[in-house]
Amino acid sequence: MDKIAQNIERLEGMVEKLAKRKKTRVRTLEGKYDKAFERQAAFKGNGIYTIANLFSTDTRELKLMFVLQQEGIDPNKEDKQDVNEDE
C-alpha cells in the first residue's frame, strides 16, 4: 500500500471515530462540508490540490483533511487523541 492510501485509511479512521463520537453518519459529517469544499478547493498545478492551507495530490485525502480541520482536529497529527476526546 502506498503512502497516500495509508494516509487516507488513517484519515478515514479519524473521521469514523469523530462521527461515532458525534453520533452521526460519516457521510453526514462529510456532506456538511461538501459545498465549501467544492467552492474552495483549487488545483495548483503539477497534480497538487489545495484548500485552507492543506495540500494533497489526492482529492479524497484532501477532503478528509478538510473535514477534520473544520471540526477542529489537526489532520496532520499522528496522535488521534483529539478525535477520542469528549466535547
Looking only at the bridges linking them, the beta strands covering 54-56 and 42-45 are: unpaired
Q: pLDDT tens digits for 34-71?
A: 999 999 999 999 999 999 999 999 999 999 999 999 99
Kindly report the pTM of this predicted structure: 0.86
- How many whole angstroms from its chain centre is CA 30? 8
Which has the higher per-residue pLDDT, 35 or 78?
Answer: 35
| Confidence at residue 78, expressed as pLDDT on a 0 to 100 scale | 66
Write down the pLDDT at residue 57.
Answer: 95
pLDDT at site 87: 47
